Amino acid sequence: MSKWRFFLWIAGIALMPAAQSALSAQLQTFERNEVVIETPAGPHEIAVELAVSPDQRAQGLMFRHELGKDEGMLFLYPSERVATMWMKNTLIPLDMLFIDANGKVVHIAERAVPQSTETISSEKPVRAVLELNGGTAARLGIEAGAVVRLPASAAQN
């Protein structure tokens, strides 16, 4: 190994903690709450992290290696819109429930593929998107038409 390569290798190792620190400084934190999904089989409580700011919505569940069985992330928008998502830098398969202003699930994208840059659309205007572990919609019997009771704080966003 040449002296320059060795120097660059040592410099890279020395800078790793700084790079990791910079990355963690950029990662968003999320307020926690709960939603209830009403299905024909009954209500299902889901612990959620709230993605309300543009930076939080941009990060979402990126870089996560796991998500609890009855946990998810709720993306809240200030007004209804056609929402588009992708799975870039998302390491776990997800179900996406697209929810209108009345709390009704209008579309479900099941088992979105990790790391995919394919656009996933709500197809209709929505107020929120609830991301769950891939397969959760099928496991809980969640279909379009189900109602999601959003947290009271959702009205403020």
Q: Block means of pLDDT (10 residues each) for the chain, length 157 residues? A: 50 48 67 95 96 95 95 96 96 98 97 97 97 97 96 65
Q: What is the pLDDT of residue 19?
A: 45
Domain boundaries, given as residue ranges, for the chain: 29-156
Question: What confidence score (pLDDT) does residue 157 get?
Answer: 57
Determine the pLDDT at residue 7.
47
Would you state the CATH architecture of domain 29-156? Sandwich (2.60)
Q: What is the pTM of this model?
A: 0.82
DSSP string of the chain?
Answer: --HHHHHHHHHHHHHHHHHHHHHHHHS---EEEEEEEEETTEEEEEEEEEE-SHHHHHHTTTT-S---TTEEEEEEEEEEEEEEE--TT--S-EEEEEE-TTSBEEEEEEEEPTT----EEEEEEEEEEEEEETTHHHHHT--TT-EEE--GGGGG-
